[in-house]
A and B are shown apart, each in its own frame.
Chain A
Amino acid sequence: MKKLAKKLSFAAISGALLLTAACANQEASKEEKKVDVASLPEAGDFSKQLDLNLSGSITRGKAEDGNYVQKRLEEQFNIKISNTKVDTWNADQVNLMVASGDLPDTFAFTTGGKTAQELYDSGLTRTISKEMLEKYAPRYMKMLSENASGTKRNLLKGTENEYVALIGQYAHVDGLVWAPTFRLDWLEKLGIEPPGEIKQVGPSGGREKIYYTDGAYTLEELEEVLKAFTFDDPDGNGKDDTYGISPWNNNINWAHTLMGSFGIALQPNYNLLEDGKLVTTEISKNYKEFLKLMAKWYKMGLIDPEFTTLDDKKSWEKYKQGKIGYYVAQPSYMAMDDWAKGRAPQNIVENPNSTAKVLGTLPEIGKNGQQGEGAYIPVGNLADAFYVSKDVTDEELARILQVFDYINFDNEARWTLYGEVGVHSDWEGEPEKSALKVRPEFAAEEGNSGFWAYNFRTYDKERVSWFQSEYTSKLKNELYAREDVKEKMLIRPYKYDLLNETNIKEVEKRYKGQLDTVVSEFRMKAIVGEVDIDKEWDNYVENWKNNGGNEVLAELEKAPKVSDLMKQ
């Protein structure tokens, strides 16, 4: 019996190994066959029906089969669309989908996934030739040619006409993404003058309580304001229960403008020249000075000590309780755009009975006149990636590119995002000058309407105006994306690997977990005074370098200078 059991176990394990080995994918061919574009159908020739499995940037896997957009696209392009049921906003789902190798014909991820080169090297995606793009996606190629180095982005290493991914236009992140805001009613109660002339964001709906100004406080003035917010009972309840500033613990967005006043930006791989040496922000002397100021404010009691246990969402709730005076916000938050509902600081005025008022200013000014924040995109206006699966044939790709070009770059295709105006959606205010709102009987995204289900995250200025309220547009045009503001206040890295000429992405992925741990741990300890910044700084820098920082710096050294890239 024992022998039988042994034999059975052996057979079972061998069977399992054979079965799974058989299921394993064969090595992907890395040799790209040259596409014979002439043999493919002409652009606009949709005589043959094709089956395509499409997924876009916004897809959360909720598009219902037979939805409105799907039906119209199927009819227009003679295709049969299969919907993807994966949530591309969920990193775990995305990573599992990529690891399984079972990918839709087209896809883009909001989070997770791999880099374009990695996906191609892993044999999961195919290349897209320039010739095909010129023939089947002329609007996209026009957009590329209008952007600096556009046609060189996402090229397969060693080639000049094969792309590993398509890229998007990011007009929606133009200008300053974050701005400081203050409780204006507190400033007024405490008799503190707001900087510059203040204007209302909008006439009603809570926007009448939100103001903006093109003035800014200096760091010294800001410290005085925060002191008054903390110690002078600005809410008038007779208790010492308010704080100047409440950061949060899961990212560093709260400090973008504060760091800007030290001339630095803490975004991935942001770097600068310091005493002739290339350093990243987190090991720079200016970052050390920033930490020392935060530690000083914490010791003075200006920073809410509970921030160490609050993430950004809990921090919004905390702000809503009316105990915090300073908070950073995006222009859309100040304009109370629908998607930003519940976020601070607009959540303090959402209640019609609220007497709170908020003032947005330009970033605070540092000792040497530095002012601003890291540019969301270090160079140019292009970002993101749209992929085509390795299993897609040339004939299918030709059709996919035509669909892609139409829905993403022809503004006649607005119906793919909002349906027909007057039937599926309405203008929020003045037609063509305000945002579009989908009627409640239709799903705003995916669902029965299929809006946004197949689109890529790419927006020119006109498309931005469809989803950005007129108030956000006003704030951006008049202040946060004004040309002089952008020119003066957007901080760019010294070097940047725009054209994938280095291995920085691979190195970053390999060491990001370690480096983030070292940086966030030191930052928190420094701010709450658990470590003496001056004494521990050298150890911290050494630690950072030994945990992958040296490798990051070595790759950054190989990258071109941003100033050179900007000239192209």
Chain B
Amino acid sequence: MQTVVQKAETKTKPKRKANTKWIEMKKMKTLYIMLAIPMVMLFIFHYIPMYGILIAFKNFSPGLGIWDSPWNNFDHFKRLFDDFLFLRALQNTVVISLLKLIIVFPAPIIFAILLNEVKNEKFKKVSQSISYLPHFMSWVILSAMVIEVFSPQRGIINFFITLVGGDPINFMSDKASFIPILILTDMWKEVGWGAIIYLASIASIDPQLYEAAEMDGAGRFHKMIHVTLPSIMPMVIILFILRLGSVLNAGFDQILNLYNPLVYEVADIIDTYVYRSGLEQFQFDYATAVGLFKNVVGIILILSANAIIRRKSEHGIW
């Protein structure tokens, strides 16, 4: 008799579990409705358009639509790797992106840690606000400023060079100086804005950790190294992995507004090249193939970096 009851209980358990979940969901229906709105938006604007990826494999004809346009036997992808200008652009993209990753990525972290050490609140706020400003200006405006600053005739840098008897240098048309300018101006534009997330992360560190470190005799530098830095490390790792995912995005707006044919050799990246040869020439299918290629590389890099980091530490995205 007991066994029969037990069996009956076992049978009804999942049903009861499902019912409980349903009751819980009903209780929190407002929250679920709130969740549903971004989910629907995400679905409409991020998943439905993915259907358009198909044109990367087709000769897209607007009149025929995506589905009826003819397949082209991977012609766009073959074209990518047959084109030495694309391969040059790919190489430039990777180089510029890696340089930005190595030099620009740590800058907001250092800036946030240093700003955290500033005791004068007023100075701290003013410094923060000034550092955000360039972020809100587009590259169209900033590029004009950058070109003026580096102008061989009116630029302040060349003014000092000529003052000490040197010849003016056309920095913006010089392959050797163009990439450092890209890196520096990118850092200048984004360092303040990028530091916000780290400042928020630093603000959430338990003050007891600092007190404990002080009791152990740690000075400000040691607290910075042994408390602040390890505490924000999970955030640094997550942002690093996400940044790796966009390694084939080397800064389209910035480069398009600053470059010229004399520096194509080092500065023509995938996006600028595809803009000139794909989008401007109405080759949306080709441009989509390039975009797909970039995204596939990006996702591979994210997954690999995440896997490696997970193996070495407990941090990571998944």
| Docked CA distance A26–B68 (Å) | 7
Q: Do B262 and A24 touch (CB < 8 A)?
A: no
A19-B48, A509-B281, A523-B261 are known contacts. Are A308 and B66 too (CB-CB below 8 A)?
no
Beta-carbon nearest neighbor of B171 in chain A: A309
Indicate whether A521 sits within 8 Å of B264 (C-beta atoms), given known contacts A28-B63, A99-B62, A113-B282. Answer: yes
Segment with Cβ contacts to B, from A121-129, A170-178, A419-427, A489-497: A121-129
- Identify which of residues 123-177 in chain B touch chain A, using a CB-to-CB cut-off of 8 Å: 147, 151-153, 170, 172-173
* 8 A Cβ contacts from B273-288 to A: 273, 276-284
Residue in A16, A101, A528 whose beta carbon sits within 8 Å of that of B50 in the complex? A16
A35 proximal to B (CB < 8 A):
no
- B85–A123 contact, CB under 8 A? no
Min CB gap A518→B, angstroms: 8
**Residue in chain B with minimal CB distance to A21:** B67
- State whether A528 touches B173 (Cβ < 8 A): yes
Contact A91 B260 (CB under 8 A): no
Q: Within 8 Å of chain B (Cβ to Cβ): is A148?
A: no
- Say whether B265 faces chain A, with CB atoms less than 8 Å apart: yes
Cβ–Cβ contact A520 & B63, under 8 A = no
CB nearest to A318 among chain B residues: B153
Q: Which residue of B lies closest to A103 (CB)?
A: B62
Within 8 A of A (CB), among B260-313: 260-262, 264-265, 268, 273, 276-284
Q: A21-B67, A25-B64, A28-B63 are in contact. Are A306 and B282 (CB under 8 A)?
A: no
Closest to A24 in B: B65
Does residue A95 face the partner (Cβ distance < 8 Å to B)?
A: yes
Residues of B within 8 A of A377 (CB): none
> Which one of A21, A309, A514, A521 contacts B51 once the chains associate, using CB atoms below 8 Å?
A21
- How extensive is the interface on chain B, given as a class? 35 or more
User: In the bound complex, do residue B61 and residue A514 qualify as a contact, i.e. CB atoms below 8 Å apart?
Assistant: no
Q: Is B74 an interface residue (CB 8 A)?
A: no
In residues 503-520 of chain A, which contact B (Cβ within 8 Å)?
A: 509-510, 512-514, 516-518, 520
Give the chain A neighbours of B152 by CB distance below 8 A: 305-306
A305 / chain B contacts, CB cutoff of 8 Å = 152, 170
A12-B43, A24-B68, A509-B283 given; A517·B277 CB < 8 A: yes
Question: Quick check: is B71 within 8 A (CB to CB) of the other chain?
Answer: no
A114-B282, A509-B282, A528-B173 known; A25-B273 Cβ under 8 A? no
Are A122 and B268 interface neighbours, CB within 8 A?
no
Q: Is B216 an interface residue (CB 8 A)?
A: no
Query: How many chain A residues touch B (Cβ–Cβ < 8 Å)?
Result: 49
Known: A95-B282, A114-B282, A308-B262. A123 touches B64 (CB 8 A): yes
Residue of A nearest to B151 (CB): A306
A19–B268 Cα gap in the complex (Å)? 39
Per-residue interface assignment for chain B, residues 183 to 218, with 1 indicating a CB less than 8 Å from any chain A CB and 0 otherwise? 000000000000000000000000000000000000
Contact A517 B276 (CB under 8 A): yes
CA distance A26 to B281 in the complex (A): 25
The distance from the CB of A242 to the nearest CB of chain B, in whole angstroms, is: 11
Cα A547 to Cα B79 with chains together (Å): 11
Contact of B283 with A20 in the complex, beta carbons under 8 Å = no
B121 in the interface, Cβ–Cβ < 8 Å? no
CB of A112 closer than 8 Å to a CB of B: yes
Which A114-140 residues have a C-beta within 8 angstroms of B? Answer: 114, 121-124
B22 within 8 A of A: no
Secondary structure class of chain A's binding surface, majority of residues: helix
Chain B residue with the shortest CB-CB distance to A114: B282
* A517 and B273 in contact, given A16-B50, A27-B64 (Cβ under 8 angstroms): yes
B83 within 8 A of A: yes
Asked if A13 is at the interface of the complex by the 8 Å CB criterion, the answer is yes
Tell me the B35-49 residues at the A interface (CB within 8 Å): 43, 47-48
B65 and A101 within 8 A (CB): yes
B51, B260, B261, most chain A CB atoms within 10 A: B261
- Chain A residues positioned under 8 Å from B264 (CB to CB): 517, 521
Chain B residues with CB under 8 Å of A197's CB are none
Evaluate contact between A123 and B63: CB separation under 8 angstroms: yes
Interface residue ranges of A1-54 to B (CB < 8 Å): 12-13, 16-17, 19-21, 24-28
A91 and B280 contacting across the interface, CB-CB below 8 Å: yes
| In the bound complex, CA of A517 to CA of B262 (Å) | 11
Given known A24-B67, A99-B284, A390-B63, contact A12–B47 (CB-CB < 8 A): yes
**A412 interface residue (CB < 8 Å to B):** no
A241 to B268, CA, bound (A): 32
Question: By CB atoms of chain A within 10 A, which of B64, B83, B84 has the most?
Answer: B64
Interchain CB contact under 8 A, A122 and B261: no
Partner of B260, one of A24, A518, A524: A524
Beta-carbon contact of A20 and B48 below 8 Å: yes
Does A561 have its Cβ within 8 Å of any Cβ on chain B?
no
Neighbour of A513 across the interface among B61, B67, B281, CB < 8 A = B281
Nearest-CB residue, chain A, relative to B83: A514
- For A241, A306, A512, A523, the residue with the greatest tally of chain B CB atoms inside 10 Å of its CB is A306
Q: Name the residue on B nearest A525 (C-beta).
A: B262
**Cα separation A111 to B64 with both chains bound (whole Å):** 23
Asked whether A16 and B173 contact (CB < 8 A) given A101-B63, A249-B260, the answer is no
Name the one of A12, A124, A241 contacting B63, with C-beta atoms under 8 angstroms.
Answer: A124
Contact A513 B278 (CB under 8 A): yes
Instruction: State whether the Cβ of A553 lies closer than 8 Å to any Cβ in chain B.
Output: no
CB-nearest residue of chain A to B60: A99
Residue of A17, A121, A512, A524 near B261 (CB, 8 A) is A524
Interface contact B170-A308, CB-CB below 8 Å: yes
Question: Taking CB as reference atom, which chain A residue is nearest B264?
Answer: A521
Chain A residues lying within 8 Å of B278, measured Cβ to Cβ, are 513
Chain B nearest CB: distance from A367 CB in Å?
28
The smallest beta-carbon distance between A254 and chain B, in angstroms, is 14
The interface residues of chain A lying within 8 Å CB-to-CB of B173 are 308-309, 528
A100 contacts the other chain (CB 8 A): yes
CA distance A523 to B262 in the complex (A): 9
| Residues in A whose Cβ lies below 8 Å from that of B50 | 16
CA of A258 to CA of B293, assembled, Å = 43
CB distance from B300 to the nearest CB of A (A): 21
Q: Which residue of B lies closest to A20 (CB)?
A: B51
CB <8 Å contact, A513 and B48: no
Minimum C-beta distance from B201 to chain A (A)? 31
The answer to whether B170 touches A514, judged by C-beta atoms less than 8 angstroms apart, is no
CA distance A13 to B47 in the complex (A): 7
List B contacts of A309 (CB < 8 A).
147, 151, 170, 172-173, 260
Question: Which residues in B have their C-beta under 8 angstroms from that of A19?
Answer: 48
- Report Cα–Cα, A518/B86, bound state, in Å: 12
| In the complex, A98 has a CB within 8 A of chain B | yes
In the complex, what residue of chain A is closest to B285 when comparing beta carbons? A99
CB <8 Å contact, B65 and A513: no
Residues of chain B with a CB closer than 8 A to A146's CB: none
- On whether the beta carbons of B48 and A16 are closer than 8 Å, the reply is yes
- Chain A residues near B281 (CB-CB < 8 A): 509-510, 512-513
Bound-state CA distance A96–B152 (Å) is 40
Closest CB in chain B relative to A494 CB, distance in Å: 25
- Contact between chains at B64 and A122 (CB < 8 Å): yes
Any B CB within 8 A of the CB of A530: yes
> Among A25, A91, A121, A520, which residue has its beta carbon within 8 angstroms of that of B65?
A25
| A/B interface sample: 7 pairs, CB < 8 A | A12-B47, A19-B48, A114-B282, A124-B62, A306-B153, A309-B147, A521-B264
Please give 7 more A-B residue pairs, beta carbons under 8 A apart, in addition to A16-B48, A122-B64: A16-B47, A16-B50, A308-B173, A308-B262, A309-B260, A512-B281, A517-B276
A-B pairs with the 6 shortest C-beta distances?
Answer: A513-B277, A123-B63, A25-B65, A24-B65, A122-B63, A308-B173
